[in-house]
Amino acid sequence: MNKTQKLAALSMTVAAAMLLSFIESKLPSFTAVPGIKIGLANIAVMFALYRFGAKEAVLVSLVRIVLVSLLFGSLVSMLYGLAGAALSLSLMIILKKITPLSAVGISVVGGVAHNAGQIAVACLLVGTAKIAYYLPVLVLTGTLAGIVIGICAGVVVKRVNVKQ
């Protein structure tokens, strides 16, 4: 795959991530608990991680967060997204290199880590650590979302052929 083809493939991956973010923003909440989302855009990030590599996954995630925040969100939503993605991707990249975990296992760790990163930002912004009491709920939902995203990402990685 030459540089132009790779740029086109990564651009389409970012576009898919943005589309999934937009679709998810229009879906009704699945729970009565505020702030819980499945993280559909992470299917595209996981795809980038498994098909292209760590650097490209970081790029896809970063570009998606910035663009979606500018188009549909706010500076605060960008901070939450960047914090969650930084922690999540760091752990997923490390675990992919050093463990035999499947895409589902790595996605679960990523989902929980994403929530932990967002809780850390919330504690800083609000100025209280009491928000961390919300973390057990987010660990549960992050685990469930991670399973769903990992399964979906595994299917996409197998079915979408990107010639390298």
Q: CATH class for domain 3-159?
A: mainly alpha
pLDDT of residue 32: 66
Q: How far apart are CA 85 and CA 146, in angstroms?
A: 13
DSSP assignment of 76-94 equals HHHHHHHHHHHHHHHHHHH
pTM, rounded to two decimals: 0.92
With cut-offs at 50, 70 and 90, classify the pLDDT of residue 163: low
pLDDT in tens, 76-100: 999 999 999 999 999 999 999 999 9
Q: Count Cα neighbours of 158 within 13 Å in the Cβ-side half-sphere.
A: 7
Judge whether 112 and 98 are in contact, CB under 8 Å: no
Give residue limits of the domains in the chain: 3-159
pLDDT in tens, 16-35: 999 999 999 888 877 666 66
